[in-house]
Structure 1
């Protein structure tokens, strides 16, 4: 039995009497244009951007303790923990004066006061190893500040400063600052100027400012000094 075929009439509104099939125009084959830049240029740009990023990271890491044109000091390299106080205004800017944690700050210097005792030579080496030197006292204000800040200790009353005589009576500061007689703070009757007492200490029990003794270069406490870091 043959199957029945069903037909339906479909009318399209506004249909044209005859269907027209539009054939798209033949696609033109575009010949590849020559590159206007060398193939290695994107790699060069990427490398430059990477270097810029690295430079920015380094700048952010060293910025807190660096100034224009300065290299990190030995003191900055020796310590990671710092204590900063607001510095005096300079022009329109306001900065901070920083010292290693545990050091005392006075004006533009940082001071380390030891609780152990060493000979003169060992004291010089110890201060140098921390990026500093035995203290060089330049004014009465500095002398009073240091004297009042020295702790009472049962180990000994004397604290080395950076003054020493190569020859009896010829005093020299460790940083080559000229010795100024008018800024010397000897105790009454001092210095003894004897061949066995060529190193100078602050004798803590004596009231400031005049409390320097020349003493034997044996074991004493010490005061180290370094320039403060300004940020």
Structure 2
């Protein structure tokens, strides 16, 4: 559609017609001026391209940050597994609330229960040596949080053996402490009926009482040779 004509500076004058003089027709017509509008297409397109590339750069930066975080987490998990000397894992579908984790894993030959993994040492050693061995595996001596947990563990143990757990009285003043700083329940009922009873027995073993036909805790010498149970948190991948 053509642009309308725009008229500016139009002056109309009446001139007397003198004899023998014919007014110039062209001078009597109003002067016509037109304006031209510049096309806005190029600046708008340039601005749109600039905004597009800025958004693309922001999206690329965010994606790069997310990928870097995922890579860092994966690398950290692999390093942790490598440091714990666990070359093989047994994993199952995770039903925990751990975000973005699909598998819950325990090292091969460890038994899962709840959120933890358990390993029974086949060798006998002192309490300190047993704790050091568990520590070298990224674990600690067994900390019993519930009767259900203890019942699960004892089903895998030999009734003729005693097993160090992570409970001791390091000062010898009757102040029992768990190795992971879990508060000790003073009303714990897992002690055998005649325990604790030793003056120099400042470590605890899990043992089977044949007469009572039940598992329970007994205080023991810390330098005695007993088997042990190690405990660690499950690994989530």
TM-score by length of 2: 0.61
Q: Does 1:96 align with 2:103?
A: yes
Pairing partner for 1:79 from 70, 80, 86: 86
Residues 74 and 130, structure 1, Cα contact 8 Å, conserved in 2 = no
Cα distance between partner residues in 1 of 2:104 and 2:87: 15
Which residue pairs with 1:148 in the alignment?
Answer: 155
Distance 1:91 1:161, change over 3 A: closer
Tell me how far 1:165 sits from its aligned partner: 0.9
Which residue pairs with 1:40 in the alignment?
Answer: none
Cα distance between partner residues in 1 of 2:82 and 2:228: 17
Which residue pairs with 1:63 in the alignment?
Answer: 74
Q: Does 1:220 align with 2:220?
A: no
Local SS of the residue matching 1:125: helix
Distance 1:95 1:191, change over 3 A: same
TM-score by length of 1: 0.63
Q: Does 1:188 align with 2:196?
A: no
Tell me how far 1:183 sits from its aligned partner: 4.0
Local SS of the residue matching 2:153: helix
Deviations 1:122-142 (A, max 9, x none): 111111111111011111111
Pairing partner for 1:171 from 169, 173, 176: 176
Choose 1 or 2 for highest CA Rg. 2
Which residue pairs with 1:199 in the alignment?
Answer: 203
Tell me how far 1:72 sits from its aligned partner: 4.6
Local SS of the residue matching 1:212: strand
Distance 1:157 1:172, change over 3 A: same
Residues 75 and 226, structure 1, Cα contact 8 Å, conserved in 2 = no
Residues 118 and 230, structure 2, Cα contact 8 Å, conserved in 1 = yes
Q: Does 1:126 align with 2:137?
A: no
Distance 1:119 1:227, change over 3 A: same
Cα distance between partner residues in 1 of 2:103 and 2:146: 23
Normalized per residue, the structure richer in helix is 2
Residues 133 and 226, structure 1, Cα contact 8 Å, conserved in 2 = yes
RMSD: 3.0
Which residue pairs with 1:107 in the alignment?
Answer: 114
Tell me how far 1:191 sits from its aligned partner: 1.1
Distance 1:73 1:82, change over 3 A: same
Unaligned 5+ segments in structure 2 are 1-63
Tell me how far 1:65 sits from its aligned partner: 7.9
The count of aligned residue pairs is: 167
Distance 1:63 1:185, change over 3 A: same
Cα distance between partner residues in 2 of 1:121 and 1:86: 36
